[in-house]
Chains A and B, each alone.
Chain A
Amino acid sequence: MAARLLLALGAMSLFGAGLATLLRYPRRFHAAEFAGLAVVLGMAGAGLLCVLLMLSGFTFGPWVLVAVAAAGAAALVARRPEFHAREPFDRLTAAGHAVTVASSLTLLVGALHTDFGGWDGEAFWTLKARSLARYGTFRTPDFTAAARPHPHPNYPLVIPSVYALIYRATGSTDGRLLRAATTVFMLASFAIVLGLLRERLPARHAAWLTAAFALVPAFARAHGGGLDPYCDYPVAVFVLLSAFAAVRWLEGEPRAGFLCAFALASLSQVKLDGTVAVFFACLLLPALAFGMRRWRGAAEAVAIVAPAALLTLVWRLTTRDYPGAIHLVPPMWSHLPETLRGLASSMTRPTEYGLVWPFFLAMLVARRPRLAHPDAFPAALLAAVLAAYVFILLSYPWGDDAREVMRHNRVRLVMHVTPLAFVWAARRLATCA
């Protein structure tokens, strides 16, 4: 079973490696960053392919893994990735990496100690994955009829499709398989963070800041952390990828636009919450591009965000009549102080996010970029998404247990933008030089 899981992850990663090489962003990779992009882009690419097949009326099965592996291998034959020259050994840098590796090993222990995926993980996501593994499509009574208790059948399906591929490839629905896969995804994200930091910072700084990121407690918590088959950590990773690909594109790297478009399209189909970030990216990126490059920049930005906007629209239209949709109520503004206090509490609690958010605020105050600067995009996106989440928290039809549910949810909502906040603040350190 473990060998089959590795084969499935390997097939998806081969696809991701091909995608990363074709997109040629960045032009030269650090080896760890390349591996991280291969895993993350591969899982998203395989999941997106399944979603597109289902939307087009087809079914998917394990053959998708063969197809994506072949496509990835063909891409790598057509174009070889280029790597940075190996850096000379440095003890302090190695010590930082050792902390990240130690953190990763403890995460593996956490992943394999149980096959329980947490309440939402089981009730929402693996239930969908089991149905997709059985039928190869969401166009079944499991999703469309109220007879089966399928909560939120309109939730996007990239991640459950990946889980379904793993179920089919391994012939098992053991929760440890998914937890191992989500852990690999999480470790891949650490490598991506390292790559993003290395764009701006020296190796030592990047190594220790990545170690600090890899130890953030909220990522390892039960019921919603990165180890459970929830979709919140993937949302955070695609918000991060799309925002910094956008920065690179705004800085004048045209090919980064392709990665941004891909990451936004993935984000739109990872979780309904992801469409909030997609919506604001659709507004902010063209506006900033207009500020920097006038109409031509704005037109290119619209082309970058268009696939994600189109996918969101198609998904919403396809699932508009599905039962169980949540309808927001008018916002209860009297709850605003309590909601803000709750969010602030999550952001500053050492047992949840450590010092990530105070660090972000300090850099925002001390090193705020000009409005028409590429670095303004991630900060503006983050602020807009957080403001929208506050509005949604005020407008959600909470039941009697509102306070308890909000307490759980706000940790996950803050998680969506935490990697973005951390990497943005860390990269702004370079302006202190």
Chain B
Amino acid sequence: MANWIGGDQKLPQGRLILVSYMVVLGILLLLLGFWKLQIVQSGHFADLAEKNQVRSIPIIAPRGKILDRYGRVLVDNYPSFSILLLRDDPAQIKKDLPQITAGLGITSADLEEQLAEARAEPKFQPLIVKPVASDADLAFVESHRIDLPELELMMVQRRKYPPDDFLAHVIGYVGEVSPEQLAQAGGNRYKPGDIVGKAGLEREYNDILTGTDGMRRMVVNSVGKPVRTLDDTEPIPGKPIQLTIDADMQRVAEQELAGKIGAIVALNPQNGEILAMASHPAFDPNDFSIRISGKEWRALNDDPDKPLLNRAIQAQLAPGSVFKILESVGMLESGVPPPDFHVFCPGYGMFYGQLRHDWDPKGHGEVDLHKAIVHSCDIFFYNVGMRMGIDKISYYASALGLGKLTGIDLPSEEPGLVPSSEWVERVYHHPWYPGSTISLAIGQGPIEVTPIQLVRSVSGIAMGGVFYQPHLLKDLSPVKVVHFPISENTVEQVTDGMYGVVNEAGGTGQFGLAVLKQAKLQNIQFCGKTGTAQTISAKGLLRLSAAERKNYRYNTWFVGFAPKRNPKIAVVVLVQGSALEAGGVAAPIAARFVEAYYQKKLGQPIQELEAKTTLQKTTVPTPSAKVVSAERN
């Protein structure tokens, strides 16, 4: 037997026991380590485990639809996918950034900027890196589930606006909530990337249209693949809004403005409901429904024709001769000058040492109020203005609704301006020049009104001094009403004059009558007033030669209503930069619009739309079968 095996060998028992103690100590230390993790820090790790496996994806609530007064769908939604970047793991994102930007075709500078902006937000809030994913983008995300688990798809509902810029200014558009809106709203009303109304009704009624987003919580495995859905918090869809707009009348208005720069607003004087509101040129809100590119935005903003401007409520222009209606009301109501006031118009006159011309160099002869309105005699109203004085004119103009907001339910309405001696002293620190009163008397000079103000004002006068808040929401409640009682006699005289404008020989709105006669609608008692405002000062105009003056362009107005008593429809037409005066441009448009209104009312085919059936087919918005209604995935 070999020498290493021997029973006589003594074992180092002490050291073996020492080893046992070491073993016990080692196991105890391990248990201590487990204790620390499983008992002391258990909550912390439970949180981490929860975050590991649970992924929250918002379920976007569809916005409410926008319907016309008969319930026809004007604005709908369609489903689309957005690509989200989950931000739980900044190191991973940093590493994957080149792959993500290359795969989705976005610049890394953009993405880094977005990430920097979102830094203050809670990490579980994902970032929308691509609002509208193409098929290629979807394929990219799906095929990189394992190596790019931070990318996630989210179904969203996008706005589908009518084609051909239909009702664009009224509807407005949506866009991503801006940092200012975020800060302003405060709390957790919005989160970055939320879609909110930015303009028009989308903005005005954002709170109604916006639903409450839901949340889907999913269990994901270690490679980010969803294993099962934990729970869904159902989104609450936004509520639809029904408008006072009649899509047919809107179509007529827009067709009338095609190729022109201007606006049309039509409303019901009995309640302030707006039937049509068009402004041209317009824009395509669909361009905004995703994320408008800086280039497109600049193009729209820099366009000299200002397509983003809703001229119906934002164009602030001199009313021209339409102002004579308000002045007539002031004259009759104040008795200065007396109702039977009349002048002889030779075609010119001296006022405060200044020679002033009538628009008609031949003059109008003996003129009383009725004839002055019908023929739009400047000399008569110069005299009236001189007698009334600035403060009376200003008082009545303001009381009848000019120079202040009408309260229409649209954002960004402009107030316009009615000058007064007090205003001039406050702003220019000099007394009112009486000569300015003469210009003001025919709606020129430093007076600025919007189309919506004019139509509301004239409607109110025709209604005997009841001014309804113009509005677009059918169920708006309460509709504010301003009462400025006007005597029956005043209403009668003024509306008679306006009837004469259209219906009497020599009236400035005779072109309108021709239109109505053709349509055999001459018995509808269409009343109105033309207005032509020079886009250059009177002095400037004098410097031009006669030939040049002829080519000079005007802002032309027509404000009309029908019938004469208790009017049901009032319409204002503004055409900017026309070579023709109001009687030749704005009046026929207004007449054709009123014609269409009555054709529709009488159940006749609307000739204007019939004549352009091909256009109508492609442009009248109806609920399309292709539009999948708000369904959740």
Q: Do A and B bind each other?
A: no
